[in-house]
Structure 1
């Protein structure tokens, strides 16, 4: 095999992650229970935390693509790249944000995906918030777990299934979120591989918990660590990157053969996001 072909083949198997530099990140409105306007954000500290997260992801073996937020000065939450879109192959199902404060982000994400060879699809009349509310897991990662609640409308389930249909065998299941603190599925659920996921059960209704157990093995996270964003983790191979201070779930994962890498995401938690919220697998 020619060296250039080998490189392309190897790169194809490397996990690629999109991040948006927090150039304009601040706390200027409140649209979830974590956003206390009195606290404010230290932007210099936030940038250092973001840089450390990026370094840790790359050091774990993934490739990070950075989207600059030029022109998005009025969109402080654009740093939360997880909400940009749901990705399947070369298609990006763009987010349609529930809150007016974030709706302007779609324009910038659409530009980036279009410029990088993706076909953009989606329905602006159906609220849905990208991979913040849609995570691949289960057998051969063919189940798309979609959070349904205040941010993503139940109508998005069918629309996503139709517009991301590529002829392969996969499915979408709706996961009803019932605790306002866990307003996106990625704040309470994290597939580690095709066999197992961590989750905070009480973020979901009873039927959802039953349905999730039918798709993957589940490791419960305590309320204390769920509120410390333990489930909002980035997985790169056997590396699980999460906010510091979650030793209980970390010990469980180490026993299963995972390596837990703690990072400080305290500035972003002030806006209701952590490691996973700042990333999108592409």
Structure 2
């Protein structure tokens, strides 16, 4: 187990963007979790989303809600993690790999511009926002990016260029190899600047080696990873994750974190959980 503890915590997210699940459903299949024959219980999904929001607020964060007005053709827009990767007041927007989600970019671009962000985007290079881009390191000095299933490695050069500032950062392309863990936020969860949860078998051997050199890692079992234990929301010392990942919860407690379980069963039908429904607007 990694030696780092919660006492190393860097400044954590205090303001989080969520998109109301007005149109959430499973109407197509673009990952191994999705099956339109396994319908979403819409009322239950709305209750689970509301509970997640309240739990995040109880942990000390402020939740900003984006209303998906006009986005009735985009049932996955509830997964705000995929909107963009952010640094200061800059947003590098997602260009979704699958055509079913490409139209979300218009709505996110509008929201970020209306809320004071400089926005950048590509219509050619696939990139799926903070679902595939996780900040770590002191003062966000490291950006871990999943590449392969949804994000083109060329996006890393664009992100490095568009988000550059007076505080430099290093960007790491980490190849994902298990189709169940198609975004990096399904298999890696930085808890603070120095320590992260991970399911190592979602990464190729080079990515495993590189991650071990850059951050202390707490392993997550396949059983817990399949319950989306790594797809967790971190607010100060609270880690909010889908119910059932008991082993991961015990490991979090050992390093000074408070795990809080929520039910995310309806969102897992679409291949997402707690973290997928959130985007940290400041870290």
TM score, norm. by length of structure 1: 0.94
Secondary structure class of the residue paired with 2:168? coil
Partners of 1:139 and 1:216 within 8 A in 2: no
Match of 1:86 in 2: 85
Partners of 2:12 and 2:234 within 8 A in 1: no
Greater relative contact order: 1 or 2 (C-alpha under 8 angstroms, separation 6 or more)?
2
- Matches of 1:117 and 1:24, distance apart in 2: 26
- Matches of 1:187 and 1:194, distance apart in 2: 18
- Greater helix content: 1
- Matches of 1:65 and 1:268, distance apart in 2: 20
- Matches of 2:132 and 2:12, distance apart in 1: 24
- Matches of 1:219 and 1:182, distance apart in 2: 17
- Matches of 2:123 and 2:277, distance apart in 1: 22
- Matches of 1:108 and 1:141, distance apart in 2: 27
Match of 2:266 in 1: 267
Secondary structure class of the residue paired with 1:214? helix
Match of 2:4 in 1: none
* 1:204-219 superposed matches below 5 A: 204-219=203-218
Instruction: State the 1:151 CA deviation.
Output: 0.4
RMSD: 1.1
- Matches of 1:268 and 1:80, distance apart in 2: 9
Q: Does structure 1 residue 56 correspond to structure 2 residue 55?
A: yes
Match of 2:155 in 1: 156
TM score, norm. by length of structure 2: 0.94
Superposition misfits of 4+ residues, deviation over 4 angstroms: none
Partners of 2:97 and 2:151 within 8 A in 1: yes
Partners of 1:243 and 1:265 within 8 A in 2: yes
1:150-186 per-residue CA deviation (whole Å, 9 max, x = no partner) reads 2000001111000111131211000100000000000
- Matches of 2:141 and 2:51, distance apart in 1: 31
Match of 1:240 in 2: 239
Match of 1:5 in 2: none
1:116-160 per-residue CA deviation (whole Å, 9 max, x = no partner) reads 000001212110000000000134431000000120000011110
Partners of 1:122 and 1:163 within 8 A in 2: no
- Matches of 2:13 and 2:231, distance apart in 1: 21
Partners of 2:81 and 2:129 within 8 A in 1: yes
Q: Does structure 1 residue 176 correspond to structure 2 residue 190?
A: no
- Matches of 2:280 and 2:80, distance apart in 1: 9
Match of 1:45 in 2: 44
Segments of 5+ residues of structure 1 without an aligned counterpart are 1-11
- Matches of 2:223 and 2:13, distance apart in 1: 34
Q: 1:44 to 1:122 in 2, by over 3 A?
A: same
Q: 1:234 to 1:13 in 2, by over 3 A?
A: closer
- Matches of 1:24 and 1:78, distance apart in 2: 8
1:68-92 per-residue CA deviation (whole Å, 9 max, x = no partner) reads 0010011000000000000000000
Match of 1:225 in 2: 224
Instruction: State the 1:22 CA deviation.
Output: 0.1
* 1:1-282 superposed matches below 5 A: 15-282=14-281
Segments of 5+ residues of structure 2 without an aligned counterpart are 1-10
